């Protein structure tokens, strides 16, 4: 899953991006509002973390423009402790949740999981197509009697497929979900991850559609 982090504070930005990567997200980090708006026009994210006090363009303005364009990506607004007005405005402008600085990274991760889940129309922390079930909190996949702990990237790949069962995802779409900007992608990285997942969960879990990409079956 790919997250856009919009934060001008170097220390907070670094801490959050390390925590997100550890939790199996691909992270792109921008440090001002203009850059944020421009990136949001061209890339697709599963969630956005938006600091409000930003150089060049205020966070609220970034959010207003985003929603005006009809982009419904889930957004968590990050505000200062005394920013009650900003929090209310943020929610009015279409933020899905907010966090007050300073915050615990574990709380950020829990809120992030919750909004991504709600956005995907899944209320439970388990994502399943009936054949394979993914626990988003523990990163474990259940298939038949097997319970396997997935690597960060295996998790991101299976998660992308399970969010849209019955839909073929092409290599480029999967790579986009798994890797951030600064990460180099080996040409066979997706094949390698699929191979690993099939070894853990059985060959039938992920289908290869020759020349098009990969999919998991729709729930019966
Ligand atoms: Ca700031």
For the cut 70, the answer to whether the pLDDT of residue 121 exceeds it is: no
Name which residue leads in pLDDT, 169 or 117.
Answer: 169
Pairing of strands 213-215, 207-209: antiparallel
Report the separation in Å between the CA atom of 27 and the middle of ligand 1, taken as the mean of its atom positions. Answer: 18
Q: Are 116 and 74 in contact (CB under 8 A)?
A: yes
pLDDT at 194: 95
Beta bridge partners of 169: 214
Q: Are 158 and 197 in contact (CB under 8 A)?
A: yes
Sheet with 140-143, side-by-side order of all strands: 126-128, 132-135, 140-143, 146-149
For the cut 90, the answer to whether the pLDDT of residue 186 exceeds it is: no
Name which residue leads in pLDDT, 45 or 185.
Answer: 45
Report the separation in Å between the CA atom of 78 and the middle of ligand 1, taken as the mean of its atom positions. Answer: 9
For the cut 80, the answer to whether the pLDDT of residue 201 exceeds it is: yes
Report the separation in Å between the CA atom of 84 and the middle of ligand 1, taken as the mean of its atom positions. Answer: 15
pLDDT at 108: 94
Architecture in CATH of 2-119: 3-Layer(aba) Sandwich (3.40)
Whole-model pTM? 0.72
CATH number of the domain at 126-215, please?
Answer: 1.10.10.10
* Stretch 135-162: mean pLDDT: 89
Report the separation in Å between the CA atom of 7 and the middle of ligand 1, taken as the mean of its atom positions. Answer: 6
Report the separation in Å between the CA atom of 90 and the middle of ligand 1, taken as the mean of its atom positions. Answer: 15
Report the separation in Å between the CA atom of 60 and the middle of ligand 1, taken as the mean of its atom positions. Answer: 12
pLDDT at 124: 61
What are the boundaries of each domain within the chain? Answer: 2-119, 126-215
pLDDT at 44: 86
Angstrom distance (rounded) from CA 210 to CA 201: 21
Highest mean pLDDT among 28-37, 82-91, 118-127: 28-37
Report the separation in Å between the CA atom of 52 and the middle of ligand 1, taken as the mean of its atom positions. Answer: 6
Report the separation in Å between the CA atom of 48 and the middle of ligand 1, taken as the mean of its atom positions. Answer: 15
Angstrom distance (rounded) from CA 91 to CA 163: 26
Beta bridge partners of 79: 100
Report the separation in Å between the CA atom of 38 and the middle of ligand 1, taken as the mean of its atom positions. Answer: 18
Summarised one tens digit per residue, pLDDT across range 36-65 is 999 999 888 989 999 999 999 999 999 999
Q: What integer best gives the mean pLDDT of the chain?
A: 90
Report the separation in Å between the CA atom of 177 and the middle of ligand 1, taken as the mean of its atom positions. Answer: 27
Q: Are 127 and 162 in contact (CB under 8 A)?
A: yes
* Stretch 27-32: mean pLDDT: 96
Instruction: Say which residue the tokens 């992308």 belong to.
Output: 160
* Stretch 161-166: mean pLDDT: 92
For the cut 70, the answer to whether the pLDDT of residue 18 exceeds it is: yes
For the cut 90, the answer to whether the pLDDT of residue 206 exceeds it is: yes
For the cut 90, the answer to whether the pLDDT of residue 35 exceeds it is: yes
């Amino acid at each position: 899953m790919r997250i856009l982090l919009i934060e001008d504070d170097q220390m907070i930005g670094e801490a959050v991006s390390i925590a997100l990567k550890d939790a199996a997200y691909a992270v792109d980090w921008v440090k001002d509002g203009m850059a944020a708006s421009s990136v949001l026009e061209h890339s697709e994210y599963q969630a956005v973390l938006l600091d409000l006090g930003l150089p060049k363009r205020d966070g609220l303005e970034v959010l207003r423009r985003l929603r005006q364009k009809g982009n419904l990506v889930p957004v968590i607004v990050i505000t200062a402790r005394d920013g009650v007005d900003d929090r209310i405005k943020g929610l009015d402008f279409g933020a899905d949740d907010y966090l007050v600085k300073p915050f615990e990274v574990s709380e950020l991760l829990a809120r992030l999981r919750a909004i991504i889940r709600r956005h995907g129309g899944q209320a439970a922390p388990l994502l399943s197509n009936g054949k394979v079930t993914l626990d988003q909190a523990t990163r474990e996949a259940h298939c038949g009697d097997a319970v396997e702990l997935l690597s960060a990237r295996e998790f991101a790949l299976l998660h992308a497929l399970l969010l849209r069962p019955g839909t073929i995802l092409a290599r480029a779409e999967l790579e986009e979900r798994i890797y951030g900007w600064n990460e180099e992608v080996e040409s066979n990285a997706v094949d390698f991850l699929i191979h690993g997942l099939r070894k853990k969960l059985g060959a039938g879990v992920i289908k290869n559609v020759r020349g098009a990409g990969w999919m998991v079956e729709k729930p019966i």
